[in-house]
Amino acid sequence: MKMPPLKMLLAAAATGLAFSAVQAQELKLGYVNSERVMREAAPAKAAQAKLEAEFAKRDRELGDQAGKLKAAADKLDKDGPTLSETERSRRQRELVEQDRDLQRKRREFQEDLNQRRNEELAAIVERANRAIKQIFDTEKYDVILQEAIFAGPRVDITDKVIKALNSTAPAAGPAK
């Protein structure tokens, strides 16, 4: 079906006007490197230090327990040839039980650490999102992206977000 020339001319003019209106209105884009925010912002660093302090004692205890288990295993290897079969079997069973206990404690430690890390991370992400929203509103952005394959320095507002997070008082994360 062929369009009459006048209708084609009007459609082309309307399309051209719409395109030039979009071009005249420059789109304001922003990009935030979330990974960098989590690595460089003061609240993220504070949360990491808080977690390290909170879990340092348990980590040392697990290290000590692992050292004692290794020493006991080395002693059994050394004394093994001189021990009776029943004594050697008894010590081996004890070592296996101690190893299971250590592995269980390590799993619990890792689960607790991951849970606390996720809690702290969620609090920081929430604060970062509020900072991004504030930048979005005050600077009249049309779009701010957090995931991009490539982003030029002209649209990267990561430094602004980090500065905004660093200027706010540290939030008290969930305590355990």
pLDDT tens for 53-97 read: 999 999 999 999 999 999 999 999 998 888 899 998 999 999 999
Q: Domain coordinates of the chain in residue numbers?
A: 26-167
Q: What is the pLDDT of residue 155?
A: 94
pLDDT tens for 15-24 read: 554 454 455 5
Q: What is the pLDDT of residue 26?
A: 86
What's the Rg (C-alpha) of the chain? 31
pLDDT tens for 91-145 read: 999 999 999 999 999 999 999 999 999 999 999 999 999 999 999 999 999 999 9
> What superfamily does domain 26-167 belong to in CATH?
Skp domain (3.30.910.20)
Q: What is the pLDDT of residue 172?
A: 47
Average of pLDDT values for 156-164? Answer: 95
Q: What is the pLDDT of residue 16?
A: 52
- 3-class DSSP assignment, residue 64: helix
* CA atoms of 54 and 114, how far apart (whole Å): 13
Q: Could you tell me if 135 and 161 are in contact, meaning their C-beta atoms sit under 8 angstroms apart?
A: yes
pLDDT tens for 4-48 read: 555 544 445 555 544 544 555 789 999 999 999 999 999 999 999
Phi, then psi, of 59 in degrees rounded to 5: -65, -45
Confidence band of 49 (pLDDT split at 50, 70, 90): very high
Q: Could you tell me if 32 and 158 are in contact, meaning their C-beta atoms sit under 8 angstroms apart?
A: yes
* CA atoms of 75 and 94, how far apart (whole Å): 13
Please give the structure tokens belonging to residue 72.
Answer: 């006991």
Residue 175 pLDDT > 50 = no
Q: What percent of the chain has pLDDT over 90?
A: 72
